[in-house]
Amino acid sequence: MSKPIPLLEQIGKDGRVWADLCEEYGVDNPDPPWRITLESTCEVLNEGACVLPSLERRDEEDDIVEDHYKHIPHPERQLLALAHTMILRGVITEEDLAQHMKVIEARLNAV
């Protein structure tokens, strides 16, 4: 079993999934707007220097989801699994990710 990532566990616990947001705001788009950009990230990681081959990513996604995120819907769990894989592989660190998320959250919520 892969080790848990506290930051991602917290997001999985507290984050609002797309289905809930759709219900609250009366939106019927089946996918969140970030689904395509997530898919693109997966594709470009699989291209060129091939940081993360697609088959490895999907295998790890199955395992990581089963271990940590099985109650979270797709594509939220695909995203968590990708971040989890990247941290376990040492490509990014949990601290870097937490710090960067704070910056982005402030940026996206700026008025």
Residue type present at position 68: H
Q: Which of 2, 9, 35, 94 binds other proteins (CB under 8 A)?
A: 35
Nearer to other proteins, 3 or 27 (CB): 27
CA distance 103 to 64: 27
Q: Which of 3, 73, 89, 95 binds other proteins (CB under 8 A)?
A: 73
CA distance 56 to 62: 10
Residue type present at position 66: E
The widest CA-to-CA distance across the chain, in whole angstroms, is 43
Q: Which residues bind other proteins (CB under 8 A)?
A: 8, 11, 14-18, 21-22, 24-27, 31-41, 43-51, 54-55, 58-59, 62-63, 66, 70, 73-76, 79-80, 82-83, 86, 91-92, 96-97, 100-101, 104-105, 108-109
